[in-house]
Chains A and B, each alone.
Chain A
Amino acid sequence: MDNRSTFTYHTALEALSAERLVKVYGNGFCALKGITLSVNSGTVFSLLGRNGAGKTTFLRIMTTQLLPTSGTGRVLGYDIVKEVNDVRKRIAVVPQESKPMYLLTVEEHVKYYLMMRGFSMSEASEKTRKVLDDLDLKEYADTLCMKLSGGLKRKVLVAMAVATEADVIFLDEPTTGLDPIARRLVWDVINRTAKSGRSIFLTTHNMGEVEAIADGFALINDGELVAQGCVDEVQRILPYKMRAEVQIIASNPGELAEFGEVITLGRRLIVYPRNEEESKRLYEYCTEKGLKISFSPVGVEDVFIRKVFVHGADEER
């Protein structure tokens, strides 16, 4: 009897944890520079970062695909290096840019993947029917995956992972390259899975995605963790509560600096007033100049802008 698994299942509050995780690749590139991170069970957690920040490396290490150079990692209390088989029984992963097999139907994908993981044919068939039903894929059960849209293909891959009933599901950039409708299809699946009490760890560089589906998030930049928190409590991470987006045409960003911190992002001009008084003065200034202005509470995008964009620009200077 696996006493350890019973003990862990009932007491582990952490779906996964990493301590000073370092990864140096064979070519000397340091992808992770001592990541320490903890994710609670039963939550949707997102690791956010730009391309090449180290998100996939972290996910591949935690899912036992890649060995860390140093540091420790645990999934549901099991060590990812020393107790690899225990970890693998309890996780499922959808890798970045993964694709279904063209000549298999949706149903076959899920069923054979479950059998590969050791389920009997009858168990696999039953779980497949349930997951296809739950994820609104029933009507495509007999459709070859080569005939599905990009969004549905991703949905099939997520269904494969969900059907395993693994305690922790890892999704590496599950919506990259998808149009907004397809992206919503995948979000819907993630939300439904999370409601069943399982933990979901996903990586993304889409800030809207984090706000739409995640409970907690961490921001990684150049292999280092630069922010971590709950999506609903972003204001604790930042020194500002509000942001203002100002029409950039005919305005001199320098002039706006007296109303708060000004950041130009392409054709967008964002101002972070430090207090209500500055917000009020900014509004009056824009009204007087005839510039469009809109206020909104700070969100995950602002954490990204502050910690990655501004920090990166400062470092370059």
Chain B
Amino acid sequence: MELTKNARAILALVMLNGIKPVIRSPLWLIVMLAYPLILIFFIQIFAEYAVSEALVGGLISLVVMSGVAIQADIVWYKVELKFQDMAVASPISPTVYMIGMAISELVYSSPAIVLFLVLMALRGVLDLSSIPMLTLSMLLCWLSALSLGFYLSTRISDIRHIWALEGLISIALSMLPPIYYPISLLPEWAQMVSMLVPTTHAALLAKEAVGIVSLTEYQRLMSLTILLLWTFILLVLARRKSVWREP
């Protein structure tokens, strides 16, 4: 019974924060798509051979953007609309609220994700065997970005700070690290630094899944462990430190 109620609550959040706004303002879909697609456009012009790698990077970038975007929506609902206050003073639990908001963010990035998968298939870098690891790396990456976004949204109450932070986080997680380009292009010290970033490992695992890079057993295990560790830490941070009822 409780499960059914929670499912309805999640559906309602997906409708009100995802599907309905997207239908009425599809510009957001283009915004979501434009960012990674522009990079791929330039890569196509200057280094056509790297496009397949950039498409995988674009996928990782999309899930990061989708996860991080939750912070702006949550702060908007909390501070500007006061909708979150209405949610707190109602039977909905913070976990259900977070899940509903998180899935609603995917509505914005889903068409772009599908387009990137189609482009990858057309270039012959996507087959059935690559899907499990590609999905896992994207999922872990999304959960990490989502948890970080949710945690920050409960700590920052100025929407302008959130917008600035959202841009910075997207750059730090999906532009600077070797997501769109091979890690080998970086100097050794930068490679070491990039190994601290979860998206580097998500990209490595995804690229290996589609056969663009090859990892040793040790490298694969290390990337998976680091990515899982980041996801776990950020999920715990979001669960433990986030504020629902104010102290």
Q: Point out residues on A near B: beta carbons under 8 Å.
A: 26, 60, 63-67, 84-85, 88-89, 91-101, 103-104, 108-109, 111-113, 115-121, 144, 160-161, 164, 170
Q: A88-B89, A116-B92 are in contact. List 14 more A-B contacts (CB 8 A).
A: A63-B88, A65-B88, A65-B89, A67-B247, A97-B82, A98-B82, A103-B24, A108-B15, A115-B8, A116-B8, A116-B13, A116-B100, A120-B8, A170-B89
- Pair B12/A95 contact, Cβ less than 8 Å: no
Given A67-B247, A144-B24, are A92 and B82 neighbors across the interface (CB < 8 Å)? no
CB-CB < 8 A to B247: which residues of A?
Answer: 26, 67
- Pair A118/B83 contact, Cβ less than 8 Å: no
Question: Whole-angstrom distance from the CB of B236 to the nearest CB of chain A?
Answer: 23
Q: How far does the alpha carbon of A172 sit from the alpha carbon of B235 in the complex, in Å?
A: 34
Q: Point out residues on B near A: beta carbons under 8 Å.
A: 5, 8-9, 11-13, 15-16, 20-21, 24-25, 80-83, 85-92, 100, 245-247
What are 5 A-B interface contacts by the 8 Å CB criterion?
Answer: A91-B90, A97-B82, A104-B21, A111-B12, A116-B92
A65, A66, A84, A144: residue with the most chain B Cβ atoms closer than 10 Å: A65
- Pair B89/A92 contact, Cβ less than 8 Å: yes
Question: Whole-angstrom distance from the CB of A5 to the nearest CB of chain B?
Answer: 13
CB-CB < 8 A to A91: which residues of B?
Answer: 89-90
- Pair B81/A100 contact, Cβ less than 8 Å: yes
CB-CB < 8 A to A89: which residues of B?
Answer: 91
CB-CB < 8 A to A144: which residues of B?
Answer: 24
Question: Whole-angstrom distance from the CB of B66 to the nearest CB of chain A?
Answer: 19
Question: Whole-angstrom distance from the CB of B1 to the nearest CB of chain A?
Answer: 9
- Pair A112/B89 contact, Cβ less than 8 Å: no
- Pair A115/B89 contact, Cβ less than 8 Å: no
- Pair B89/A101 contact, Cβ less than 8 Å: no
Residue of A nearest to B6 (CB): A118
Q: How far does the alpha carbon of A161 sit from the alpha carbon of B90 in the complex, in Å?
A: 10
